[in-house]
Structure 1
């Protein structure tokens, strides 16, 4: 039976327990609406969540947030998440182990002086490297970090005559870290948008924020608690199988929860992965067609059409693998993280290594190595991949003992992000069905698939419903 409500208080279902769903749920609850947050699994967090292994709480992937992530920071403020208690804040840096030859760290000075001095002091770059890097930065600012015609990041770097060494040690790692797409097929327009909000903004925007608590407790659990204290409910282990738009303008769910099935909703936020949301919308379109519902004009940017035609192209996906290696508790790297030169020909897969002991007090001696946009690595047997990564660390860090970890855990997300290619058409949050909106890092945004784009999308979806 539908719950009674005041004229201004709406009942909203948010389907999907990731960061986009969290952002939508919090935004709606903050406006005093009754929110039902629904997740099919028993855990919130989506593709940014914690898991348990050998008594340790590990993230399913090592993340870095930026000071430019305004929507994430705004959500943290609403939820009472203090940055100083939950993140290690570092200045922008790209530092390799000594023999790799590059050391770039931005000092804490006003922008753009921080980058100018970092470039002047940078070790491992020639004068020619520094000159072309400075020229690229100046030109990008003059262009307002925009491109009229999109191209690949590799094409952009060639156009501005970036040196091979700069591409290898600076631009390629930044592109892969930000877009999780190889530079030769990554969108230069999206890459410039990330650079604009970090390198091209105030100094604090370029700061790197490394979580010091697990991702589940960092945001989704705090969002769930906020929801409960504002009159909402969280439904875990509840699968939504279908949606029904009623003639009275309200929505109903077909789910594994009799309680939810008996309710009527004023709006629904579909914060599920793109392919799942698309299936829901195709079902709705088929129903509308069978009921002879008049069709509405579809747009190039929207999933939501009244009949199954002209749906957006399906996304291609990129993998991310995180390899956790546990050593003795006395192991400590010189820095919280290092960049690494990957070279598949040498079985060097790691691109960044993080000292988890400097982030989490209870994870002394643990290293996390990230392998992004490397489908080849995902197909290697996990024991073999861990052995190869450990050997890479032993060689580049010149610590032979790193070849023999006490234990390891390899976590691969084969569909971690969509492939952020040039001119990719991403759907808007708005559908053509009243009261039904989309949320997810795949929706239209000038950012790639990141926690920030998920948060932005969730906030935008909530605003559309209101």
Structure 2
């Protein structure tokens, strides 16, 4: 690309991928215009107003392995130490709920995992040996498979016990890939484990946002772009894209030297068709999707959990849909007494309707925490993202950032990557798209 200082770039979509691309382009000296159809920045990881409070459209956990996300947060002025609660890797179930208690101490890797395994309650000797065997074999394989398969097939291949699958591997797979182990990509799952369990101890830390998801990065990213001479246009949907004299025309004919498409796949496919990249558009059209549901329950302000969050044993037959419960009051004192319960790959859970699901979740909390009062929250709010992520299936073909057209790049958590659809995947994709446009070869 020519001198970056003279280049105008439109970034269509202000989710985490689009905001990341915009920040990197602004840092390179480009004049960036960031377009977002919604009024709130953040895409599928954003703030929403619930009962007069600023919450999120879904509860998220970040990992210490999310290096690009943490780097860009710091670039735009976010104090990552204060903005998130940093916890060691853990899988802790409520006492007497039939789960386990696994906590990694703050020791160098891989000693922290070895000690956590030795100390783990709720796992017998066979379970612990299976976990140790899987971890050592995955390291020996460099966390790679010759041929991708489902996570369930991988776990069966390495003789993982039923209890370990139920309490450790299945919840991790659902949380990371938002796809059931029976149809989730083993290679992508191994990549997540590689950068967390298989990396430095700090990479496995679990980071719980204290800020709402828009404030955690997108809002600060927008301010950063504006401080570098760019503009942010919320409530501005870009409905058309056409090539023009070596550049691009958006919507009503506004010209730009380059464009990053950072919208969800259906909207991106329409723009790519118009731009002249039908093969990339077709690849996006082949995606399947998985929903995520978060149930917020408000109790009296004095209501607390003993820990910031617990894993929960989900069981459809019992109407126990919740997989994790978070005490929001331990993240933000203004949300005292509020719990959020996450249900990944929540299609079946949503079928009875939101009211029935909320009642079931409240009943599950009351039962597993042995606190009958939790069955009667003051109010509840169920938020479902029907297309929260693509279904991360074995061998899934995902398009690259390069579209095959000059000065047009694609960004999103769905582009080619060894990661699933996570915040980190979105950020990495946005950075890659920006660098593709600002590279000397363009």
Pairing partner for 2:309 from 337, 351, 360: 337
Secondary structure of the corresponding residue to residue 360 of structure 2:
helix
In structure 2, C-alpha distance between the alignment counterparts of 1:95 and 1:303, rounded to whole Å: 42
In structure 2, C-alpha distance between the alignment counterparts of 1:70 and 1:210, rounded to whole Å: 15
Q: Which residue of 1 aligns with 2:256?
A: 265
Do the aligned partners of residues 230 and 164 (structure 1) sit closer, same or farther apart at CA in structure 2, a change above 3 Å counting? same
CA-to-aligned-CA distance 1:222-265 (integer Å, 9 cap, x gap): 0010011100000111111111111x21111114xxxxx3x421
Pairing partner for 2:275 from 246, 270, 284: 284
Secondary structure of the corresponding residue to residue 73 of structure 1:
helix
1:25-44 alignment, distance < 5 Å = 25-44=22-41
In structure 1, C-alpha distance between the alignment counterparts of 2:4 and 2:371, rounded to whole Å: 66
Do the aligned partners of residues 61 and 377 (structure 1) sit closer, same or farther apart at CA in structure 2, a change above 3 Å counting? same
- TM-score in terms of structure 1 length: 0.92
Q: Which residue of 2 aligns with 1:274?
A: 265
- Answer whether contact 2:9 2:256 (CA < 8 A) is retained: yes
CA-to-aligned-CA distance 1:340-392 (integer Å, 9 cap, x gap): 00001000000000000000110000000001112111222111110110000
In structure 2, C-alpha distance between the alignment counterparts of 1:215 and 1:127, rounded to whole Å: 40
Q: Which residue of 1 aligns with 2:236?
A: 238
Alignment of 1:21 with 2:32, yes or no, is no
Q: Which residue of 2 aligns with 1:157?
A: 155
Alignment of 1:147 with 2:124, yes or no, is no
Q: Which residue of 1 aligns with 2:328?
A: 356
In structure 2, C-alpha distance between the alignment counterparts of 1:8 and 1:105, rounded to whole Å: 50
Q: Which residue of 1 aligns with 2:356?
A: 384
In structure 2, C-alpha distance between the alignment counterparts of 1:283 and 1:7, rounded to whole Å: 26
Q: Which residue of 2 aligns with 1:185?
A: 183
In structure 1, C-alpha distance between the alignment counterparts of 2:174 and 2:207, rounded to whole Å: 17
In structure 2, C-alpha distance between the alignment counterparts of 1:436 and 1:428, rounded to whole Å: 12
Secondary structure of the corresponding residue to residue 176 of structure 1:
helix
In structure 2, C-alpha distance between the alignment counterparts of 1:313 and 1:13, rounded to whole Å: 23
Alignment of 1:444 with 2:416, yes or no, is yes
In structure 2, C-alpha distance between the alignment counterparts of 1:330 and 1:125, rounded to whole Å: 33
Alignment of 1:423 with 2:395, yes or no, is yes
Alignment of 1:325 with 2:288, yes or no, is no
Do the aligned partners of residues 185 and 104 (structure 1) sit closer, same or farther apart at CA in structure 2, a change above 3 Å counting? same
- Answer whether contact 2:265 2:284 (CA < 8 A) is retained: no
- Answer whether contact 2:287 2:391 (CA < 8 A) is retained: yes
Q: Which residue of 2 aligns with 1:170?
A: 168
Q: Which residue of 2 aligns with 1:216?
A: 214
Secondary structure of the corresponding residue to residue 12 of structure 1:
strand
In structure 2, C-alpha distance between the alignment counterparts of 1:243 and 1:348, rounded to whole Å: 46
Aligned-CA RMSD value:
1.4
- Answer whether contact 1:321 1:371 (CA < 8 A) is retained: yes
Q: Which residue of 2 aligns with 1:83?
A: 80
- Answer whether contact 1:79 1:226 (CA < 8 A) is retained: yes
Do the aligned partners of residues 185 and 63 (structure 1) sit closer, same or farther apart at CA in structure 2, a change above 3 Å counting? same
Q: Which residue of 2 aligns with 1:48?
A: 45
The gaps in structure 1 that reach 5 residues or longer are 256-260, 287-297, 305-309
In structure 2, C-alpha distance between the alignment counterparts of 1:312 and 1:61, rounded to whole Å: 24
Q: Which residue of 1 aligns with 2:65?
A: 68
The gaps in structure 2 that reach 5 residues or longer are none
In structure 2, C-alpha distance between the alignment counterparts of 1:205 and 1:6, rounded to whole Å: 37
Q: CA deviation at 1:329?
A: 0.6
Do the aligned partners of residues 7 and 49 (structure 1) sit closer, same or farther apart at CA in structure 2, a change above 3 Å counting? closer
Secondary structure of the corresponding residue to residue 239 of structure 2:
strand
Higher gyration radius (CA): 1
- Answer whether contact 2:247 2:257 (CA < 8 A) is retained: yes
In structure 1, C-alpha distance between the alignment counterparts of 2:272 and 2:52, rounded to whole Å: 41
Q: CA deviation at 1:85?
A: 1.2
- Answer whether contact 1:319 1:378 (CA < 8 A) is retained: no
In structure 1, C-alpha distance between the alignment counterparts of 2:271 and 2:126, rounded to whole Å: 54
In structure 2, C-alpha distance between the alignment counterparts of 1:83 and 1:240, rounded to whole Å: 33
In structure 2, C-alpha distance between the alignment counterparts of 1:228 and 1:284, rounded to whole Å: 27
List 4+ stretches of structure 1 deviating above 6 A: none
CA-to-aligned-CA distance 1:286-327 (integer Å, 9 cap, x gap): 9xxxxxxxxxxx9xxx617xxxxx645511000100000000
Q: CA deviation at 1:56?
A: 1.2
- TM-score in terms of structure 2 length: 0.97
Secondary structure of the corresponding residue to residue 240 of structure 1:
coil
- Answer whether contact 1:129 1:162 (CA < 8 A) is retained: yes
